[in-house]
Amino acid sequence: MQSFKDKVVWITGASSGIGEAIAMAFANEGAKLVLTARREEELQRVKKRTGLPETSVLVLPMDVTQFEKAKPAAEKVIAHFGRIDIMVHNAGVSQRSYINDTDLDVYQMLMNVNFYSTVAITKAILPYMIQQKSGHFIVISSVAGKIGTIMRSGYNASKHALQGFYDSLRAEGYKDNIKVTTICPGYIRTNISLNALNENGSKFGKMDANQEKGIAPEECAARILEAVKNDKKEIYIGGMKEVAAIYLKRFFPSFLFDQIRKNIPE
């Protein structure tokens, strides 16, 4: 079981929710942190909350959809810490709109945030990990990366894409001791539904009932770190309903499709 003490951990979407909880969990293990999100003031708040020494936390504000900034950002991390041990791809946005109503621009935005941004950052830091012959990617996918549900078509697609890309990276990186742990959360008590995109790209602005009753982000983060310590390839985090859906998709897909269809609001 590996230790995270003095490991350099870069976290995107670190200003709130699961990302903030992951930052705190790694800080408690003695890791060094790189915190990325768009809101610098929130990153500074998280930095202060960690209680880590000034030299152990690099605040690196960035809009992850500005792909050209990925390589310079990686260079800043290397200049500051000299290495990158763990990359946590957590930045993401959800969706609440029907396919027939949704603008194509919304789908492009979902893919840019949830998928292409992770590819851009991964490609920027992968050469350093190959050179140091070690590295670990923690990819926050979703139960939606395994099954498709209503009003989340673009979100589902982006998370399915993450699954395929990082399964490939896990295989390709094996010879260089580069690991991948894919996380598939179900309902976690965050603001993801409030910030979800509607059919024209505006914020949905409503808290889903299931989300409100979800697992605390701190519990989610603890289970993520435990999975990484034990070199798990993929884990599911959520209530019985969400996790059961994954197994229903595998063994009883027709039954699951019928259940999803029946949940369409009239």
- Among residues 116, 128, 155, 166, the one annotated as catalytic is 155
- Residue 250 CB contacts under 8 Å (≥ 6 apart), including other chains: none
Query: What is the spatial distance between Cα 75 and Cα 196, in angstroms, rounded to a whole number?
Result: 31
CA dist 82 to 74, 75, 76, 99, 103, Å?
10, 9, 9, 45, 43
Structure tokens at 33: 């942190």
Beta strands in the chain (DSSP E): 8-12, 32-36, 57-59, 86-89, 135-140, 178-185, 234-237
Question: CA-CA distance, 57 to 47, in Å (whole number)?
Answer: 7
How far is Cα 146 from Cα 238, in angstroms, rounded to an integer? 13
Amino acid in the structure at residue 245: A
Residue 113 near residue 162, CB atoms below 8 Å: no
- The residues, ordered by sequence, that sit 6+ positions from 138 with a Cβ below 8 Å of its Cβ are 22, 86, 87, 88, 89, 90, 181, 183, 224, 228
For residues 59 and 80, the answer to whether their CB atoms sit within 8 Å is no
174: annotated active-site residue: no
Active centre residues (catalytic): 155
